[in-house]
Amino acid sequence: MKLSKAEEQLMEHLWRLQKAFMKGILDCYAEPKPATTTIATMLKRMADKGFVSYKLYGNSREYYPLIAKAEYFSSHVNGLIKSFFNNSASQFASFFTRETNLTATELEDLKKIIEQEIDKKKK
């Protein structure tokens, strides 16, 4: 399941905060801040989707993420590879390295990361 852009932004705040009450979440937003009801509606939708939960303290709710950031983005990228690159990581890598204006240094860094992963898989 996917989050909307606004939900992703809210989720970014929750990932950073780890746990937060409504006031703490609203404090993360720049002016003009969204309405409390807007954030509450998004949190309810995100809870219904299984991304967020909360713990009740009287009338207050402390929200926390149910999915790690890396897990969310991993499934997002894997879905992208499946949908747009015929489930081929090689096609994705080829597109990514050609179309993103990476510098030679950034490409070298990627090469090192790939080589490290290859070494791990061989062991």
> Does residue 73 sit in the same domain as residue 111?
yes
CA distance 28 to 30: 7
pLDDT in tens, 26-69: 999 999 999 999 999 999 999 999 999 999 999 999 999 999 99
The total domain count for the chain is: 2
- Which pTM was predicted? 0.75
Q: Is the pLDDT of residue 97 over 90?
A: no
pLDDT of residue 35: 96
Same domain for 23 and 45, yes or no, is yes
pLDDT of 98 reads: 87
Of 17, 47, 65, which marks where a domain is finished?
65
Question: Do 13 and 60 share a structural domain?
Answer: yes
**In the predicted model, is pLDDT for residue 24 greater than 90?**
yes
3-class secondary-structure state, position 31: coil
> Taking the mean position of all CA atoms in its chain, how far away is CA 99?
22
Which residues constitute the domain of residue 10? 5-65
pLDDT tens readout for residues 85-95: 998 988 888 88
CATH of residue 33's domain is 1.10.10.10
Which residue is listed with tokens 């992703």?
8
- DSSP codes, 51-70: SEEEEEETTEEEEEESS-HH
